[in-house]
Structure 1
Amino acid sequence: MRIRLLGGLDVTSPDGGRIRFSTRKTSLLFAALVLAGRRGHRREPLAEAFWPGRGDAQARNSLRQALVDIRRAFPGSGDAAIQIEGDQETVALKAGLHEVDIWMFDRKLEEGGPADLAFAADLYRGDVLASLAIPEELDEWFGSYRSTYQRKALQLVERLSFSLTVAGSAQELACEGLAERLLVADPTAEPCHRALMRIHVNRGHGNAALRQLELCRAALKKHLGVEPEAETKGLATSLRTDKETDRPEASSFHIIPQPPVLWPQATHSDRPSVAVLPFHNLSGDQTQDYFADGVVEDIITKLAQFRHLFVIACQSSFAYRGEAVDIRQIGLNLGVRYVVEGSVRKAGERLRISGQLIDSSTGLHLWADRFDGSLVEIFDLQDQFASSIVGAIAPRVEEAEIERSKLKPTESLDAYDYYLRGIAVHDRAVISRESIESALQLFMKAIERDQAFAAAYARAARCYASRKSHRWMADRAKETAEATRLAKRAIELGRDDAIALSYGGYVLGYVGGDLDDSALCIDRALLLNPNLAVAWGYSAWIEACLGEPDKAIERAAQAMLLSPRDPRLFALEFNTALAHFCAGRYVDAIGWARKALRSQPNYASAIRIATASYALEERSREAKEMISRLSELDPTLRLSNLSDVLPPFRRPDDRTRYIEGLRRAGLPE
């Protein structure tokens, strides 16, 4: 998309540069032309609305000047994709349907298929011009558009929720994302609460659906002083009725399943498989059972967003409620390698959740931790606990799988084993030309054995990004083309794979130089899996490159919160350093870069940021020490070839300061 109005005004040129109009009034005039579509506006009412209180001649002259400014932003011949057209009476914007998000949004609503509605849901990133301050005289003009598209978005989320059939589908994720975005703006939007209730039911999470009802009721009472609508209550009643038929006794809102039935060991796949058992309620208060069940359902939902994990549905794992069954036996019965168990204890206004991850084949505890919090916001606390536990479990499962793969003889390795070995070399070894080459070969072997393995393509492409950042490319043009090919193939195969989108999107941005497509990929990855630390990390890098350093720092912090023991923590620390550098906070940039270098002393990108920051802080001794270290790693690096490794900064000043810092530090011409 070149023109985006949903969520704010964002306009990019054909070469990917961000277009900024000379005044706010010009920006709003451009937005008004976009909203009018190809029918355009009559000049006279447009001039009166935007320049009230002026004479007709002066207002029309101001309109003409603003239109000239807009035309300058889109230079080109008569074949240009975006043009301003008109005559003495009217003026209109000419652009392709695919160039404008709000036009495409309307088209997809009109086409109306589930995939079309999901596409429209992904486009709706917020209200029309949400981040743009609109003066009072134009509030009515734009207010009607905002109201119209808010109504369309609410209708869309409900339409999409009725069309859902397959849990975990792209349509379901798009619907969930839209509902959550709309609720941030308006917590009382009942269609969104109902949509989320239907999604929870579609996933088999009845407790989460009823919890959503309580969130809806609390929001309505707090903000409007009213009860939920009849339609919302009716949906909740049907949920409770369905639950009653599934259990012998009614008690609170949780399902009491049938006793477990032992069956022969299942074999779901060669991928890691996890079962989350019901958490023990140690509070002595049975009314807290629904909270413990809700935590488990959230953990299962969030774990299921990691596509490399096979996660047992709660209907199966909840069958073990209250049963003293050996963990190894549960692993055999459910066919899982890993089991999560835990407990919930309430004491006054404090709550403690404990959890542990166990290898079902050995009975060994791979991870254990506890999380404490206040009951003031109990449902927010539930989400926080679930995210924290998932952020700890997912990396530990990957670590265990890597160790398991290492024990296999070479002749029995499959695509996933090669993929895991590649991760171990790329992420956990000290960076070197040899380690990156070894990782690349392992990922390519994974692709040979499974040519639809999206994440393997993405990780192979990422190896080329490492080669670029250290200037290890032997044939820059050829390897850049190969990296881009692999990244695009990963994105094509992995539209619903957050890992593939994260790594593939990053490569498009750093190696391919396409920050806009890179940002789209990472945004979709976060929509698919908001608990994926690597997606938040790459989002931080993109925001820094786009000139939004404070956003970048927040996103890197979220990544580190989700995965505080991440083996690639050094990359998150570097992204934070890069953001501080872009913000001109060189002392902070130095601190974060040095953190990254503790675990990866050969990390050239971190050395360059530290070097430039020391120089710009006029700490010449440290700058020269760093430039010496950089020269040892890359003896042929010069100011003349520095562009080979530079991030694709959107703001020219960031690039200029980066180069100037290295020049002051003593990097040769």
Structure 2
Amino acid sequence: MRFLFDEYALDVDRRELHRGQEVVPVPPQVFDLIEYLIRNNERVVTKDDLISAIWNGRIISDAALTTRLNAARNAIGDTGEKQRLIKTLPRKGFRFVGAVQEVSRRTVDPLGSGAQRSDAMPSPSTAPRLSMVVLPFANIGGGLEQDYFVDGVTESLTTDLSRISGSFVIARNTAFTFKNKPVDVRKIGRELNVRYVLEGSVQRSGNRLRVAVQLIDAETGQHLWAERFDKPVADLFDMQDEIVSRLANALDAELVLAEAKRAERALNPNALELYFQGMVWIYKGPTRENLTTARAFFERALNVDPNSVEALLGKGRVEAAFGSTFVDEDRWVHCAAAEPLLTRVLSLAPNNALAHAFLGVVQMQTKRVESGIAECERALTLDRNLANAWGMIAYGKQLLGYAEQSVLSVQEAERLSPRDIFAFRWWNTAGVSKMLLGEDAAAVRWLRRCVEENRNYSIAHIHLAAALALSGELDEGRAAGRAGIALDPNFSIRRYRLGAASDNPMYLAGRERICLGLQIAGLP
């Protein structure tokens, strides 16, 4: 099916926009927007209509909608001033006002080519970044009840992956047309114009459920990532939520890394490509060198596009990381630099969950702990899978003297994302909370996990030194202290004491125990 208007042809079957014989590049969401407006050209469509049809009802900002409408107008040679084809009706909505002719794809092209439409499909190399389709998971050997469960996992994962900033996920109704059919992922990539295909299976064996998932590059067919985990069969609804949360968290990081590899090949990288490369350095751990390199990429991105939400958020994250660790003495300066960057992100994208979470961390570090926790809770209402927000809440609870609640929040973060890139930071928080409770042996266990996961995290070595010393393991404590000082030569107990982000008496009393442990371990 094709719609002809002005000098354009919108080919719905091939998802292509033509101007004469020329193919006009159009992002999938913009294509969907044009198609929806054309199909409903006899009426005014509201903002809510568009959000329901194009974004499956998920919350988007007015700025994001305006950006897509402007892109649609640009694609079909319209402007916001003339509005020859797409008209905005103030306080009412939008309407496609151009004359439209609906024709079969087999009709000879009336625009002058004299030939039938070519069957060539768009190349995956033109597909949007972070574009993917979640294929219906296979139900291996299960009955009807399990089939409902498997479809629920597929549908929920489709919804939750669409919350990843900058992602484009093919709608559930389209994805489910491939259910129980043999698939060629490269062909699917061409047909749907996506970069990635996610496929999986669910198998029940006795009282255990096995879930296997793999992420595939739709252009090359290469397997980029695979995960498999087994769980005891319990409440299927709760299991569905947990499985989706784990996969969404893991895929968020994997997709960023995959895009960063693509971006390395770009001769003139754009803002988003530079952002992805910066994120790789953030993922390597919060050392001065890694954070400085990441910031340089984000600043290059902002030179290309000063309003890049991703780059502003990236730079804000770097400043927040400098402000919430001990890798730099000017922690308060970094917090002061982070706050306006994150506030700017939220002015452009009010529902950006990560921006709310990192603004929360900055507020915690500047003795506005209750406000900071509220920001992180807001982040979780926007993205229920944001495990790192639970880790940040754990830190806030610790600052308020609620050490037991802090550990529980860490455990919730782990439940959502057990292999999270940032889990080492949560484990450091749990270790400190255990020391605040006087449970030094438990603190050692948490902090050993942290150090084993990321040996570049200086404060974890230092906290481990205190926990070991308080547990009577003096030699190991001194060795851990030396490792921490090697990573952070400027560390001192005085600096640590002055860096307290809370005036809560219970918290400060617990920190004095940690300082005693540091003295026993021989730190300066």
TM-score of the superposition, structure 2-length normalised? Answer: 0.70
Q: How does 1:380-399 map to 2 (within 5 A)?
A: 380-399=238-257
Structure 1 window deviating more from structure 2 (295-304 vs 378-387): it is: 378-387
One-letter amino acid of the structure 2 residue matched with residue 563 of structure 1: S
Question: 1:358 and 1:523, CA in 2 relative to 1: closer, same or farther beyond 3 A?
Answer: same
Question: 1:414 and 1:644, CA in 2 relative to 1: closer, same or farther beyond 3 A?
Answer: farther
Where 2:225 maps in the other structure, the secondary structure is strand
CA positional deviation for 1:308: 3.2
Report what 2:276 is aligned to.
420
Question: 1:632 and 1:366, CA in 2 relative to 1: closer, same or farther beyond 3 A?
Answer: closer
CA positional deviation for 1:594: 2.6
Which residue of 550, 567, 581 maps to 2:421? Answer: 567
CA positional deviation for 1:297: 0.8
Does residue 1:329 correspond to 2:184, yes or no? no
Does residue 1:498 correspond to 2:353, yes or no? yes
Report what 1:69 is aligned to.
none
Report what 2:362 is aligned to.
507
Any idea what the Cα deviations from partners look like across 1:576-630, whole Å, max 9, x if unmatched?
A: 2222222221122222223222343342221231222233334433333333344
Report what 2:237 is aligned to.
379
Report what 1:522 is aligned to.
376
Equivalent-residue separation in structure 2 for 1:395 and 1:363 (angstroms): 20
Report what 2:291 is aligned to.
436
Q: Is contact 1:455–1:500 with CA below 8 Å preserved after alignment? A: no
CA positional deviation for 1:361: 1.1
Report what 2:58 is aligned to.
168
Report what 2:516 is aligned to.
660
One-letter amino acid of the structure 1 residue matched with residue 512 of structure 2: T
Question: 1:552 and 1:407, CA in 2 relative to 1: closer, same or farther beyond 3 A?
Answer: farther
Q: Which contiguous aligned blocks of 4+ residues in structure 1 show a shift greater than 6 angstroms?
A: 266-269
Question: 1:518 and 1:456, CA in 2 relative to 1: closer, same or farther beyond 3 A?
Answer: farther
TM-score of the superposition, structure 1-length normalised? Answer: 0.56
Which residue of 138, 142, 153 maps to 1:295? Answer: 153
Equivalent-residue separation in structure 1 for 2:400 and 2:434 (angstroms): 13
Does residue 1:306 correspond to 2:164, yes or no? yes
Does residue 1:542 correspond to 2:392, yes or no? no
Q: How does 1:48-447 map to 2 (within 5 A)?
A: 167-169=57-59, 264=122, 270-283=128-141, 285=143, 288-346=146-204, 351-373=209-231, 377-409=235-267, 412-428=268-284, 431-447=286-302
Q: How does 1:478-493 map to 2 (within 5 A)?
A: 478-493=333-348
One-letter amino acid of the structure 1 residue matched with residue 58 of structure 2: G
CA positional deviation for 1:550: 2.6
Question: 1:391 and 1:550, CA in 2 relative to 1: closer, same or farther beyond 3 A?
Answer: same
Which residue of 565, 579, 603 maps to 2:457? Answer: 603
Q: Is contact 2:380–2:389 with CA below 8 Å preserved after alignment? A: yes
Where 2:154 maps in the other structure, the secondary structure is helix
CA positional deviation for 1:574: 1.5
Question: 1:575 and 1:491, CA in 2 relative to 1: closer, same or farther beyond 3 A?
Answer: farther
Equivalent-residue separation in structure 2 for 1:281 and 1:627 (angstroms): 52
Report what 1:624 is aligned to.
478
Q: Is contact 1:467–1:473 with CA below 8 Å preserved after alignment? A: yes
Q: How does 1:4-15 map to 2 (within 5 A)?
A: none
Q: Is contact 2:287–2:457 with CA below 8 Å preserved after alignment? A: no
Question: 1:386 and 1:268, CA in 2 relative to 1: closer, same or farther beyond 3 A?
Answer: farther
Where 1:361 maps in the other structure, the secondary structure is coil
Does residue 1:585 correspond to 2:455, yes or no? no
CA positional deviation for 1:338: 1.1
One-letter amino acid of the structure 1 residue matched with residue 337 of structure 2: E
CA positional deviation for 1:422: 1.3
Which residue of 626, 632, 641 maps to 2:495? Answer: 641
Equivalent-residue separation in structure 2 for 1:646 and 1:364 (angstroms): 48
One-letter amino acid of the structure 1 residue matched with residue 418 of structure 2: P
CA positional deviation for 1:296: 1.0
Which residue of 537, 540, 554 maps to 2:408? Answer: 554
Equivalent-residue separation in structure 1 for 2:367 and 2:517 (angstroms): 22
Report what 1:156 is aligned to.
none
Equivalent-residue separation in structure 1 for 2:204 and 2:464 (angstroms): 47
One-letter amino acid of the structure 1 residue matched with residue 187 of structure 2: Q
Q: Is contact 1:490–1:501 with CA below 8 Å preserved after alignment? A: no
CA positional deviation for 1:330: 0.5
One-letter amino acid of the structure 2 residue matched with residue 457 of structure 1: L
Where 2:361 maps in the other structure, the secondary structure is helix
Does residue 1:532 correspond to 2:386, yes or no? yes
Equivalent-residue separation in structure 2 for 1:289 and 1:479 (angstroms): 51
CA positional deviation for 1:631: 3.7
CA positional deviation for 1:317: 0.9
Equivalent-residue separation in structure 2 for 1:168 and 1:456 (angstroms): 23
Question: 1:456 and 1:590, CA in 2 relative to 1: closer, same or farther beyond 3 A?
Answer: farther
CA positional deviation for 1:370: 3.7
Where 2:419 maps in the other structure, the secondary structure is coil
One-letter amino acid of the structure 1 residue matched with residue 301 of structure 2: A
Q: Is contact 1:454–1:497 with CA below 8 Å preserved after alignment? A: no
Q: 5+ residue gaps in structure 2?
A: 1-47, 62-118
Equivalent-residue separation in structure 2 for 1:378 and 1:629 (angstroms): 46
Where 1:342 maps in the other structure, the secondary structure is strand
Where 1:368 maps in the other structure, the secondary structure is strand
Higher helix proportion (structure 1 or 2)? 1
Any idea what the Cα deviations from partners look like across 1:395-441, whole Å, max 9, x if unmatched?
A: 322222222222333xx212222211111112216x54332211111
Q: Is contact 2:129–2:195 with CA below 8 Å preserved after alignment? A: no
Report what 2:89 is aligned to.
none
Any idea what the Cα deviations from partners look like across 1:108-153, whole Å, max 9, x if unmatched?
A: xxxxxxxxxxxxxxxxxxxxxxxxxxxxxxxxxxxxxxxxxxxxxx
**Root mean square deviation of aligned Cα:** 3.2
Question: 1:490 and 1:614, CA in 2 relative to 1: closer, same or farther beyond 3 A?
Answer: farther
Where 1:584 maps in the other structure, the secondary structure is coil
CA positional deviation for 1:303: 1.4
Where 2:455 maps in the other structure, the secondary structure is coil
Equivalent-residue separation in structure 2 for 1:599 and 1:287 (angstroms): 39
Where 1:336 maps in the other structure, the secondary structure is coil
Q: Is contact 1:342–1:355 with CA below 8 Å preserved after alignment? A: yes
Where 2:429 maps in the other structure, the secondary structure is helix
Q: Is contact 1:483–1:507 with CA below 8 Å preserved after alignment? A: yes
Q: Is contact 1:279–1:343 with CA below 8 Å preserved after alignment? A: yes
CA positional deviation for 1:498: 1.6
Q: Is contact 1:543–1:551 with CA below 8 Å preserved after alignment? A: yes
User: Highest CA radius of gyration, 1 or 2?
Assistant: 1
Question: 1:595 and 1:280, CA in 2 relative to 1: closer, same or farther beyond 3 A?
Answer: closer
Any idea what the Cα deviations from partners look like across 1:169-197, whole Å, max 9, x if unmatched?
A: 179xxxxxxxxxxxxxxxxxxxxxxxxxx
Higher relative contact order (CA 8 A, sep 6+): 2
